[in-house]
Structure 1
Amino acid sequence: MSPLTEAQLRAALVNTTRSERQRMIVPDLDAIRWDRLEYLGWRDRKQPLAAYAVVEIDAAPVGIILRAPETSSRRAAMCAWCEEVGDGSDTSLLVARRAGAVGRKGNTIGTLVCSDFRCSRHVRRRPTLAETGTDDDEARAAVVERRIAGLQERVRRFVEEVRSTA
C-alpha cells in the first residue's frame, strides 16, 4: 500500500459526514510499515465503537468508517478478510453505513473482521506443511502470495460494496 497523509485519509472516506471526518483520530502514520499492508485499518481511540479501513482501488485510496456493536458475544469466528480463525476476542462484527442517499436512509452492510486489523500480518505467517503439501520454500511463498491476493480482493470488494449506491 502506498503511504498516505492525514489529509488523504480524511478525503478518502466515502461513507462519512464532514463532522465524522473531522472527529476521526488518525493513527501515527510515520510508524506504519506501508510496504507490508494490503489495507490500513484502525480503531479510533476516542470513539471505541468507531473503526476505519482504507484500501487502494484503481491506485486511489478509498476508505470507510465502520461501527462495532455496543455489546458482542464471544465465540470462535473467522475473519472474512484474511480468513484467520480466532476466538471471540480476535474478531468483531463491524457494520458500515453505505455511501450516498441509501446510507443516509440507514442501509448498512456488515462483516466479521480481525479486531486489531492485523490481517496483513496474518496472511504473511509461515504456512504449515498441511497448507503447502511440501517442505519447499517456493511452495510456501506461493501460499503467502495467494493469501495476500485474497485479502486484497476481499477488502476491496467490501469497500466497493459500501461505496456502491445501487
Structure 2
Amino acid sequence: MRKPTEQDIRNSFVNCTKGEAKRLSVPRDLDERPWDDLDFLGWRDPGAPDRSYLVTEREGRLTGVALRFPPSQRGFLHRSLCSLCLTTHPGGGVSLMTARKAGAAGREGNSVGVYMCTDLACSLYVRGKKVPESGVRFEESLTLEEQIARTTGNLAAFLDKLYT
C-alpha cells in the first residue's frame, strides 16, 4: 500500500459524514508504518475504545471505513478466527467489526459486519511480521502471494457489502 497523507485518509471515508471524518483520530505514526507490508491501514481510536478505522486502496482510490465493535471480549480459553486473514486468536483477539453502510442505506441505520483481528494487523500476520498472541499461525499450503490475495479478496468482499 502507498503511504497516504492525513488529508487523503480523512477524504477517503465512505460511511461517515465529512464532519465525522474531520474529527476522527488519525495515527500520528504514519511515517513509521511498514507500508510495503500493508494491504490496508487499520487503527483503533484511542479516544473511543469501541471504534476502529480501516483505509485501503480500492479501484485506484483510497476507501476508508469507520468500524465499531463491542467492548466485551470472550474468555481467554475461547479461540476465534479472523475472516479476512484466517488467523486464530485467543480471547478478544478477533472482534465483530460493524460498519454503517454507505449512502442512503447507512443513513437509515443499515450496517454490515465482519469478524477480524481486533488489532487490524491482518497484513502483518499473513506475512509473518507479527505473531498472534497464541504464538502460532496455521501452516498453509498456499504461497504467501496466494494468502495475500485471499486476504485482500476477503476485504474487498466485505467492502462490496457496504454498497449493496
Q: TM-score band, normalised by the shorter chain?
A: 0.7 to 0.9
Q: TM-score, normalised by structure 1?
A: 0.86
For 2:4, the aligned partner's letter is: L
Q: Which residue of 2 aligns with 1:136?
A: none
Taking every aligned residue pair, what percent have the same amino acid on both sides? 36
Q: Which amino acid aligns with 2:9?
A: L
Alpha-carbon distance in 1 for matches of 2:160, 2:3 = 21
Offset of residue 130 of structure 1: 5.5
2:156 maps to which residue?
156
Which one of the candidate residues 91, 105, 110 is aligned to 2:108?
105
Aligned partners of 1:39 and 1:155 also within 8 Å: no
Matched residue, 2:123: 120
3-state SS of 1:110 partner: strand
4+ long deviations beyond 6 Å: none
Q: Once the 2 structures are TM-superposed, how far is the Cα of residue 69 of structure 1 from its aligned partner?
A: 1.6
Aligned residues: 155
Residue 92 of structure 2 aligns to a residue whose secondary structure is coil
What residue in structure 2 maps to residue 38 of structure 1?
A: 39
For structure 1, the residue ranges without an aligned partner over 5 or more in a row are 133-141
Point out the structure with max Rg over C-alpha: 1
Partner SS for 1:56: strand
Once residues 154 and 130 of structure 1 are traced to their aligned partners in structure 2, the CA distance between those partners, rounded to angstroms, is 19
Give the superposition deviation at 1:59. 1.5
Amino acid at match of 1:78: L
- TM-score normalised according to structure 2 size: 0.87
Structure-2 residue corresponding to 1:52: 53
Q: 2: distance between equivalents of 1:31 and 1:130?
A: 29
Specify which structure has the higher proportion of helix: 1
Please say if residues 73 and 92 of structure 2, whose CA atoms lie closer than 8 Å, have aligned partners that are also in contact: no
